[in-house]
Amino acid sequence: MQLEPAADLKPNPKGDTYENGLFLSSQQELEDEIESYRKDRLSRRLGFIYKISFAFHDYVWEPLVTIGRFVELTIIFLPIVITLPISWFGKKKNNTRSGSIFWYKVLRFSLETAGASFIKLGQWAASRTDIFPQELCDELGNLHSNAKKHPIRYTKRILSQSFGGLPFDEIFEEFNEEPVGVGAIAQVYLATLSKKLIENIDEFQPVKKKKRSFLGLPSLASNDSPSPNQKVAIKVIHPNVATKIKRDLKIMNFFASAIDIIPTMEWLSLPDEVQNFDTLMNLQLDLRIEGLNLNKFQENYKDDLFVNFPTPYLKFSNRSILVEEYINGLSMSKMLELKNSKQLNDDVSKQLSDKVIDSFLQMLILNNFIHSDLHAGNIFIRFVKPNELQTEIISNDSERDEISRNLKKVQKDNSQLSKELNKLHADGYHPEVCYIDAGLVTELNEKNRVNFIALFNSLAEFDGYKAGELMIERSKTPETAIDQEIFALKVERLVDKIKQRTFTLGTVSIGDLLEKMLTMVRSHHVRMEGDFVSVVVAILLLEGIGRQLDPSLDLFASSLPILRQLGFQDGGGLINDGDKLAMFKVWLTLEVRQFINLSVQDIYKLVKSDGLCPNY
């Protein structure tokens, strides 16, 4: 349609303007129609330009940049190829040559140099002891991000945009421009939100036409807001990190596909693992997901006085920023340091171990919602005072924060810190376990959960051969497993060794058992599901922390209260639900084992004290 100037149009008898078969009820409508037409023509012209621009970007620019990145990575990883022969030489220590240890260090250095994607890849690989040698996983576990902090001007700009263009100085009462942490994907600041922002947040947020869910998750509606003058942690994604990671993943996928062609390497299924890693990275690039994870964890532990997660303030957050409660406490690493130097009160240590293990078992058994990054650096300890019945906390938030500040002042002096902790214990304070950085969680699907419960039950029954068979039968690719009968016999022998010392020590290290089983899994090419392995690794980490705090820890025995809770909560449903019925069998097996264990220990004490045949 071609519209002429309004002056040339003749009004019809009704007073409306007529043009090319269209009636326009007023001059204003005509002008609106002309403006709309002009915008439509401009959009079509720009649309063509956009198509050319997108085509140039997708088919010329991106391939060139990706090739450039490929060249850069080739230079970075060239030392790995050059030094590979060194791994075949040197003295053996724990079946690993000294040359291999050196090569693992070269690999770690190269991964750190390569940037965010490869740092995360190395950290992920460190958890896959079912694929890679234990010594390599230990070395990659030392990977630290060498990411440079992004400029403060970028942080200010993106925060201002997130709050509808509000000037940065009006968003915060206080903002520490030096980040307290710089990771491969984001960096974290401490700040205090302004009272004006807290009271009028809806006015400052960008207007959205319609609230939509993402990745099947609910909209980020939330009534939570920080209190005035409350410290918050603000996580900000690095600029352009998503684009860089996308390019790196293309390169990883190319190499994974090339390695997969090599005979005997197909059992690794590296293209599938790259795809899984791709999913993990995308989850971490959307900070809203971490906020929703924290919300769910808080709901799961709302009745637990001594387990906490930072509160996410979702209406202040979006894909690129996350505003959450600042957890002011001592790192678990510091508590372990005190325990290892024998400067931590045994009662405090036992309380701490019990709370860590109980909270993890609740994640694993009751909730099937497991924090996937449970190293000591992501666990903080605060101290709270419950009433005598431990039904509520009687110390307030300001008192708790004051205690944390005082402990931090003396944390460099272990002797003084130990005295302060002993004083708190004497005054009736208990440790509160706080988990942070919940960007990644593991939820076992029905198949993997049933498989895990079946394996757990086999170990509880000390049926190693059955456990070995189950691991092969329910692996991703049973046909790739080699020497299946020998594998099952090895697992049986391993479990028998544990069984022989059970009643003498009174404990079973399920973590140690699973770790050795993963080593055998790798040598026999038994491909486990990634989520399954994530759960096993979480057990290794948490039991390792628990045993440092309490050497007598028995993970099987610790799981009994959680299993009893599951049974009492849903006793009738156990019969109809295969998952819960399998867990019920585990419960009965552990109850019997616990009874026998206690009976043997009691008899041993009676014999030792001559209680069975006392001398009169």
Give the pLDDT means over successive 10-residue stretches in the chain (616 positions): 39 42 45 61 64 73 87 90 86 80 89 84 75 80 73 92 84 91 88 86 52 40 71 92 87 82 68 80 88 93 92 90 93 90 90 90 86 86 91 89 92 92 93 91 81 74 81 78 86 76 52 72 76 76 83 74 59 45 55 50 46 46
> Is 252 a member of any domain?
no
- Residues 345 and 265 placed together within one structural domain of the fold: no
Task: Provide the pLDDT for residue 443.
Answer: 87
- Residues 482 and 546 placed together within one structural domain of the fold: yes
pTM for the structure as a whole: 0.76
> Is 12 a member of any domain?
no
- Residues 126 and 150 placed together within one structural domain of the fold: no
> Is 386 a member of any domain?
yes
- Residues 408 and 474 placed together within one structural domain of the fold: no
> Is 219 a member of any domain?
no
- Residues 192 and 132 placed together within one structural domain of the fold: no
What are the tokens at 232?
């918050």
* Short-list 559, 533, 534, CA closest to 546: 559
> Is 253 a member of any domain?
no
Phi, psi of 396 (to 5 degrees): -90, 175
- Residues 322 and 400 placed together within one structural domain of the fold: no
> Is 405 a member of any domain?
yes
* Short-list 119, 137, 232, CA closest to 185: 119
Task: Provide the pLDDT for residue 95.
Answer: 73
- Residues 486 and 392 placed together within one structural domain of the fold: no
- Residues 451 and 599 placed together within one structural domain of the fold: yes
DSSP letter for 217, please.
Answer: B
* Length of the chain as a residue count: 616
Look at residues 392, 409, 441 and tell me which one is the last residue of a structural domain: 441
> Is 426 a member of any domain?
yes
Report helix, strand or coil for 231.
strand
- Residues 468 and 525 placed together within one structural domain of the fold: yes
- Residues 66 and 108 placed together within one structural domain of the fold: yes
Q: Which domain holds residue 53?
A: 45-144
Cα–Cα distance measured from residue 26 to residue 28, given in angstroms and rounded to the nearest whole number = 5
Identify the sign of the CA torsion 385, 387, 392, 397.
negative
- Residues 591 and 448 placed together within one structural domain of the fold: yes
Look at residues 410, 425, 441 and tell me which one is the last residue of a structural domain: 441
Task: Provide the pLDDT for residue 551.
Answer: 83
Report helix, strand or coil for 281.
helix
- Residues 588 and 509 placed together within one structural domain of the fold: yes
> Is 39 a member of any domain?
no
Q: Please, is 11 exposed, middle or buried when counting C-beta atoms within 10 Å of its C-beta (0-12, 13-18, 19+)? A: exposed
Task: Provide the pLDDT for residue 183.
Answer: 82
Structural domain count, the chain: 4
Indicate the angle between helix axes 555-569 and 578-608, nearest 10 degrees.
130
Look at residues 441, 461, 496 and tell me which one is the last residue of a structural domain: 441
